[in-house]
Amino acid sequence: MTTTALEDASAPPTAPGTEWWRTAVIYQIYPRSFADANGDGVGDLPGVTAHLDDLKILGIDAIWLSPFMTSPQRDAGYDVADYCDVDPLFGTLDDFDRMLQAAHARGIRVIVDLVPNHSSDQHAWFQAALAAGPGSPERARYLFRDGRGENGELPPNNWESVFGGPAWTRVTEADGRPGQWYLHLFDSSQPDFDWTNPEVRAEFRRILRFWLDRGVDGFRVDVAHGLMKAPGLPDYTPPADSGSMGGDETDVPYWGRPEVHDVYREWHELLAAYDGDRALCAEAWMPTIAQTALWVRPDEMHQAFNFPYLMSDWNAQTLRHVIDESLRTFAAVGAPSTWVLSNHDVVRHASRLALTAENPQGHGIGPNSPGKPIAELGLRRARAATTLMLALPGSAYLYQGEELGLPEVIDIPDDARQDPTWFRTGGERYGRDGCRVPLPWTADGPSYGFNTTGASWLPQPAEWAHLARDVEARDEASTLSLYTRLLAERRARALGAGSLVWMPDAGADVVAFRNGNVTVIANLGDRPVPLPAGRVIVSSEPLESDTVPRDVTVWIEAD
Ligand code: NOJ
């Protein structure tokens, strides 16, 4: 076990303003689907350890692991029953320590997922709350309330679960009678904690210390905008078309309450007492960048996911605007901007950027979805979008498999779907399974090298052999080769620590800027645009003339 940051001599300096998280490229590992060492069909921590060299070659700085803690897996691990242990599906605490040490030995930082908004209903505290009955201190750790109506038969308010259906479930009391209701903003197996209770705050300080003492470099904080609820839990009806994790509304009684920031100020202090620039990254689905930036004020978290950037259409004007606003707004609070195009909750950007119909976040796409993407167009745009993103100053997040150009899997059979969204909406929303399909490592072999048995918790498409890592590693034109080149150049030219200067008069459909000695030009229009003078460092597609074709981004060495 280690309490120092990296054992590798490449550890960056820690002077204020140069902390690693300001410029890092952080690769999200979704452990269930990364690599499966024991062959049970679900990826695991030894699988991660076995492939760290591949990530080192790719050129990332850090990994973020989605939850691997003890969990009944009703929401793929975001339902935690024991925050300080590893679920046997993923291995043991020893496996975790070995993975952490192996990552650090390669100069790769490790961030783990922390899920503070809710626990699993199998958590010892929730089980104790059920047993202890109304009015008990055990129930006060969660949000139990009496129901409305003559006999308490109606939920305490009208809130809906993010995954569909009511956000309240009624319990049966010890005497066998229907009793109180508990709040769950997500699945009924995920009861929300009451964060006004000091016991909850103390418990999470203990959990943070547990992982910090093991040597983790930070936390990605799940639903960081949801911990506090408006006093009195007033009714609220979200707009019909709002995305699942946040929506566009302000003044939602359960998202972005001002009291939540005190929690992060406390955590900031707690992390600051450790060496090695430990960091907190907020998953806060707020509608604007200005609101998101509240999570990264100097005494709070260090990073927040830039979801407004992720949600932007493939449109030059939109992108120029969101990039500009991100850099300005995050800089105003002394934080780096982050950039992200894909994660385990959204349609993969190799498909999303070619969708032709509205697709609210969390709804997913399946066989009956309108406006299904054309695969070639989606991949071409995804490569251009990533080439643009990795030239931006700040920190960037990658989601496993995007470096292979994986598309969203659309044709998952109904009976293989796993996302609670699918069940809670009676199949109306497909949910997120399509971006969670296990990775292809080799063109041959069972489950494309995900394991040696062929078992896979979600079926892999029959046509994925050409997207396997071993095939792409041998192909200079592959998406993997493109990502590897981009990351090497980004590092060599210190683009993460750079600054952006817009190129004037580049054209309405073009995003063009300079960062250090690199000129970046992305053509989002229908017609080719002139290629600026200079040596081409990298291009998202091969160039056949001195123009930049549609849906292509080029990096050029500026004088
Ligand atoms: C956000 C996570 O990214 C998502 O996968 C999960 O379902 C919800 N939070 C609930 O924990």
Domain, as residue range, for 140: 124-183
Of 458, 483, 508, the residue that ends a domain is 483
Long-range contacts of 551-554 (CB under 8 A, 24+ apart): 551/377, 551/380, 551/381, 551/384, 551/523, 551/524, 552/380, 552/384, 552/522, 552/523, 553/383, 553/384, 553/385, 553/387, 553/388, 553/391, 553/520, 553/521, 553/522, 553/523, 554/387, 554/520, 554/521, 554/522
Task: Please indicate, yes or no, whether residues 438 and 473 belong to a single structural domain of this protein.
Answer: yes
Q: How does DSSP assign 417-454, residue by residue?
A: ---HHHHHTTTSS--SGGG-PPPP--SSSGGGGT-SS-
Q: How many other CB atoms are there within 10 angstroms of residue 4's CB atom?
A: 11
Report if pTM > 0.85.
yes
Q: What are phi and psi of 519, to 5 degrees?
A: -100, 130
| Cα(31) to centroid(ligand 1), Å | 14
Alpha carbon distance 296, 275 (integer Å): 20
The reply to whether 15 falls in a domain is no
Q: Are residues 473 and 507 in the same domain?
A: no
How many whole angstroms separate alpha carbon 56 and alpha carbon 432?
Answer: 28
Q: Which residues line ligand 1 (CB under 6 A)?
A: 75, 78, 115, 186, 222-223, 283, 344-345
Domain co-membership, 260 together with 172: no
Give the per-residue pLDDT at 4. Answer: 40
Closest protein CA for atom 4 of ligand 1: 345
pLDDT averaged per 10 residues in sequence order, the chain, 559 residues: 44 75 98 98 98 98 98 98 98 98 98 98 98 98 98 97 96 96 98 98 98 98 98 90 59 95 98 97 96 97 98 98 98 98 98 96 95 96 99 98 98 97 96 98 97 98 97 98 98 98 95 98 97 96 96 93
User: Which residue's CA is the nearest one to ligand 1's atom 11?
Assistant: 78
The CATH number that applies at residue 155 is 3.90.400.10
CA distance 433 to 362: 10
Please check whether residues 45 and 133 belong to one and the same domain.
Answer: no
Write down the pLDDT at residue 305. Answer: 98
8 Å CB contact between 452 and 469: no
Considering the domain boundaries, does residue 272 fall inside one? yes
- Cα-trace Rg, the chain: 23
Does 5 fall in a domain?
no
- In this structure, the answer to whether residues 315 and 375 fall within a common structural domain is yes
d(CA 409, CA 364): 10
According to DSSP, the residues that pair with 513 across neighbouring strands are 502, 520
Residue 250 to residues 160, 225, 236, Cα–Cα distance (Å): 17, 12, 12
Q: Measure the CA–CA gap between 58 and 233, rounded to whole angstroms.
A: 47
Cβ–Cβ < 8 Å for 102, 55: no
In 280-289, which positions are buried (b, 16+ CB within 10 angstroms) versus exposed (e)?
Answer: bbbbbbbbeb
Per-position DSSP letters for 39-85, written without gaps between them: -SSS--HHHHHHTHHHHHHHT-SEEEEPP-EE---TTTT-S-SEEEE
Number of other CB atoms surrounding residue 78 within 10 Å = 24
> How many separate domains does the chain show?
3
Which residue's CA is minimally distant from atom 2 of ligand 1?
Answer: 222
Which of 483, 516, 540 is at the close of a domain? 483
Rounded to whole angstroms, how far apart are CA atoms 308 and 289? 7
Please indicate, yes or no, whether residues 230 and 333 belong to a single structural domain of this protein: yes
**In this structure, is residue 8 part of a structural domain?**
no
Q: Which residues contact 201 (CB under 8 A, 6 or more apart)?
A: 195, 263, 266
- Report the atom number in ligand 1 closest to the C-alpha of 420: 7
For ligand 1, the distance from its centroid to the CA atom of residue 199, given in whole angstroms, is 23
Catalytic residues: 222, 283
Q: Tokens standing for 355? A: 């969708």
CA of 344 from ligand 1 middle (Å) equals 9
pLDDT for the residue 502? 98
How remote is the CA of residue 486 from the centroid of ligand 1, in Å? 30
Could you give the CA distance from residue 483 to residue 494 in angstroms, rounded to a whole number? 16
pLDDT of residue 15: 80
Supply φ then ψ for residue 474, to 5 degrees.
Answer: -90, -5
What residues does 340 pair with on adjacent strands? 397
State the distance from the centre of ligand 1 to the C-alpha of 340, rounded, in angstroms: 16
462 CB-contact burial (10 Å; exposed 0-12 / middle 13-18 / buried 19+): exposed
Classify residue 90: in a domain, yes or no: yes
Rounded to 5°, angle at Cα 530 from 527 and 532? 145
Residues 389 and 416 in one domain: yes
Predicted local distance difference test score (pLDDT) of residue 167: 98
CA distance 216 to 100: 7
Quick one: 42 and 165 in the same domain? no
Q: Indicate which atom in ligand 1 lies nearest the CA of residue 186.
A: 10
SS3 content of the chain, % helix, strand, coil (to 5): 30, 15, 55
Would 290 be classed as within a structural domain? yes
Residue with tokens 């079926």: 459
Residue 518 sits in a domain whose CATH number is 2.60.40.1180
Both 152 and 277 in a single domain? no
Give the domain CATH number at 81.
Answer: 3.20.20.80
| Alpha carbon distance 14, 425 (integer Å) | 48
| Long-range CB pairs of 415-418, under 8 A, 24+ apart, other chains included | 416/458, 416/459, 418/76, 418/457, 418/458
CA-closest candidate to residue 432, choices 513, 347, 353, 522 = 347
Q: Kindly report the backbone phi and psi dihedral angles of residue 414, in degrees, each rounded to the nearest multiple of 5, phi listed first.
A: -50, -40
In a domain, residue 112? The reply is: yes
Residue 366: both structure tokens together? 């399946």
Whether residue 350 is found in the same domain as residue 385: yes
88 and 131 assigned to the same domain: no
Which of 183, 210, 226 is the C-terminal boundary of a domain? 183
DSSP-assigned beta bridge partners for residue 193: 142
Same domain for 38 and 96 = yes
Pocket perturbation via mutation, ligand 1, pick of 161, 223, 285, 436 by most ligand atoms within 8 A of CB? 223
The encoded tokens of residue 19 equal 């902390």
Q: Quick check: is 78 in a domain?
A: yes
pLDDT, residue 230, reads: 97
| Euclidean distance between CA atoms 82 and 119, whole angstroms | 9
Spatial distance between the Cα atoms of 188 and 364, rounded to a whole number of angstroms: 21
CB contact set of 277 (below 8 Å; sequence gap of 6+): 5, 14, 19, 20, 21, 217
Tokens 């990994």 belong to residue: 63
